[in-house]
Amino acid sequence: MLAYQGADQLRRFGAEIYTVNLLGVGILRELGVLMAAIIIAGRSGSAFTAQIGTMRVNEEIDAMRTIGLDPVEVLVIPRLFGLMLTLPMLTLCANLLGILGGALMAWASLDITPQQFTRQLQSALYPWTFWIGLIKAPFFAFIIALTGCYEGFQVARSAESVGRLTTLSVVESIFLVIVADAAFSIVFSMLRI
């Protein structure tokens, strides 16, 4: 999609080959990790809120407290670590598939062969282009997991509340991830990366 739209504009300058640059940089720095994070916010963030919220309705969290279990230790920490480990891996997948898809598209409609694609890509990418996207992943994961769990604990004792706060947590997660992404952009541009 990015390749298609970008190529259209670059064609005016006869610069279609730079579509590859657009693709490589765009996906590895930004879109791979952002898309992965948004999907995970919808899938896991909402699941955390619903799971913990339902436990609140069921008084399971109160029961934990009276037994001496710390709900944060038992419920939040594992989810936090789990997400911080898996989102980077998912980001890698997203990056790979994004570039693959872009390459196929470039071959199909721009007549850029895979060999040309690879060569252009290698010239377009700095070593850290890859890492910039990846390094954002655990931070995004932290935001998503924390928001999901937090809203779960906010659930009041009704099913309606579970539904409402699940939706709220997804919206909040996505918003905060985008804000964080913007903050990263500013930081990176100050560091001239």
Partner 1 sequence: MSDRSSEPLIRVRGLVNRFGNETVHEDLDLDVRRGEVLGIVGGSGSGKSVLLRTVVGLNRPVAGKIEVFGSDVLAASDAERRELEKRWGVLFQDGALFSSLTVAQNVEVPIKEHFKLPLRLMDEISAIKVGLVGLPADAGEKYPAQLSGGMRKRAGLARALALDPEVVFLDEPTAGLDPIAAGGFDGLIRDLRASLGLTVFMVTHDLDSLFAICDRVAVLVDKKLRVGTLEQLLKDDHPWIHGYFHGPRGRTAQAAEAAAAIPERSAAPV
Phi-psi region of 155 (alpha: psi -120 to 50; beta: other; left: phi over 0): beta
From the CB of 70, what's the least distance to partner 1, in Å?
Answer: 10
Q: Which residues contact 51 (CB under 8 A, 6 or more apart)?
A: 152
The torsion region of residue 68 among left (phi > 0), alpha (psi -120 to 50) and beta comes to left
For position 65 contacting partner 1 by CB under 8 A, the verdict is yes
Binding mask 78-107 for partner 1 (x = CB under 8 A): ------------------------------
* Window contacting partner 1 (CB under 8 A); options: 59-67, 77-85, 143-151, 182-190: 59-67
Output DSSP code: residue 110.
Answer: H
Residue 70 φ/ψ, nearest 5 degrees: -90, 115
Binding pattern for the stretch 37-56 against partner 1, x by CB under 8 A and - elsewhere: -----------------xx-
Chain residues binding partner 1 by CB under 8 A are 54-55, 58-60, 62-69
